[in-house]
Amino acid sequence: QVQLVQSGSELKTPGASVKVSCKASGYTFTGHSMNWVRQAPGQGLEWMGYINTINGNPTYAQGFAGRFVFSLDTSVSTAYLQVSSLKAEDTAVYYCARDVNMGALDYWGQGTLVTVSS
């Protein structure tokens, strides 16, 4: 069965970096793009962008270029989200989600809570 398993919660200080992993299983990893979605506490879903799992080409939503980097290790079917120069407002749950067609995000990771606090 298809599964996306994300790394555990992180507590970081402002200015630090964090790398969240999303390990896929149960399907051909390169068959679908991987999307990242942010959800701040008590807020809605915000699309961050996606990475083409065939060629590794990322596409970032407005506001997520620069400090946010998507990457892959196809040898272990894993996608990564790295956030640098963390700010308090980056505190959120970050989800990876498989896209089967133009925003049909059919499988989601369990979410990774990143807390940024001094």
46 binds other proteins (CB under 8 A): yes
Q: How far is the CB of 65 from other proteins (least distance, A)?
A: 12
10 binds other proteins (CB under 8 A): no
* Contact by Cβ (8 Å): 30, 53: yes
Considering only the stretches 22-30, 73-81, 82-90, 98-106, report the one whose residues sit in contact with other proteins under the rule CB under 8 A.
98-106
Q: How far is the CB of 47 from other proteins (least distance, A)?
A: 4
Task: Calculate the alpha carbon distances from 96 to 14, 24, 118 in Å.
Answer: 23, 10, 26
102 binds other proteins (CB under 8 A): yes
Give counts: helices (H), strands (E), the chain. Answer: 0, 11
Cβ neighbours of 55 (radius 10 Å) = 8
Task: Calculate the alpha carbon distances from 113 to 2, 8, 66, 101 in Å.
Answer: 22, 7, 21, 27
Tell which one of 18, 95, 114, 116 touches other proteins (CB under 8 A): 95
101 binds other proteins (CB under 8 A): yes
Residue ranges binding other proteins (CB under 8 A)? 35, 37, 44-47, 49-50, 59, 61-62, 95, 97, 100-106, 108-111
